[in-house]
Amino acid sequence: MQNYSKIKENESGISFILNHFDPNGRISLFPRTIMTKKLGYQKEVFSKEEAMEFFKESDLIDCRINAFPSYTEYKGVQRYPPNLLFIDLDKNDFETITALKLALFNTLKNIKEKLNGFPTVLWSGNGYHIIQPVSCPKILVDGILETAMLEDITEFKKHDKPSQKFLRFAKDYFSNSKADKNNNPSFKSCLLRIPGSINSKYDKNVTIIQKWNGVRPAIRREFIEKFRTYLIQKKIDEKEQKQKMLLKLKRQQNNYKSITHNGNYYQWIDKNILSKPFKDYRKIIVNLILAPYLIVIKKLSFEDAFEIINEWLQKCDLLRRLDFNKKFLVTTALTTAYKKQIPPMKMITLKTNYKDLYLILVQKEKEERVG
pLDDT in tens, 289-337: 999 999 999 899 999 999 999 999 999 999 889 998 999 999 999 999 9
Residues 6+ apart with CB under 8 A from 204: 123, 124, 125, 126, 198
Q: What is the mean pLDDT of residues 32-44?
A: 94
Position 206 pLDDT exceeds 90: yes
**Residues 256/343, Cβ–Cβ less than 8 Å:** yes
DSSP string spanning 102-143? HHHHHHHHHHHHHH----EEEE-SSEEEEEEE-B--EEEETT
More confident position, 17 or 272: 17
How many angstroms separate the CA atoms of 135 and 148, rounded? 10
Considering only residues 98 and 276, tell me which one the structure prediction assigns the higher pLDDT: 98
31 and 66 Cβ atoms separated by less than 8 Å: no
Distance CA 145, CA 164 (A): 22
Cα 70–Cα 195–Cα 128 angle in degrees, nearest 5: 90
Residue 260: what pLDDT?
43
State residue 55's pLDDT score: 94
Task: Tell me what the mean pLDDT of segment 170-195 comes to.
Answer: 92
With a cut of 60, say whether residue 185 has pLDDT above it: yes
H or E element in which residue 11 lies: helix 4-18
The CA distance from 80 to 185, in Å, is: 14
| Phi, psi angle pair for 178, to nearest 5° | -95, -10
β-pairing, 77-78 vs 144-147, is unpaired
Average pLDDT over residues 215-240: 88
- State the DSSP H helix or E strand holding residue 260, giving kind and residue range, or none if neither: helix 257-260
Topology (CATH) of 4-219: DNA primase, PRIM domain (3.90.920)
The mean per-residue pLDDT over the stretch 132-156 comes to 71
Question: pLDDT above 90 covers what percent of the chain?
Answer: 54
Return the pLDDT at 258: 44
- Looking at mean pLDDT, say which of 32-41, 151-160, 223-232 comes out highest: 32-41
Dist CA 64 CA 55 (whole Å) = 9
- Which residues make up the CATH 3.90.920 domain(s) of the chain? 4-219
| Interatomic CA distance for residues 123 and 101, integer angstroms | 11
Q: What tens digit of pLDDT does each residue of 271-295 get?
A: 888 988 999 999 999 999 999 999 9
Q: Going by C-beta distance under 8 Å and a sequence separation of 6 or more, which residues neighbour residue 120?
A: 20, 130, 131, 132, 208, 210, 211, 212
Task: Using the CB atoms, write b or e for 303-338: b if 16+ within 10 Å.
Answer: eebbebbeebbeebeeeeeeeeebeebbeebbeebe
Rounded to the nearest angstrom, the gap between the alpha carbon of residue 255 and the centroid of all alpha carbons in its chain is 35
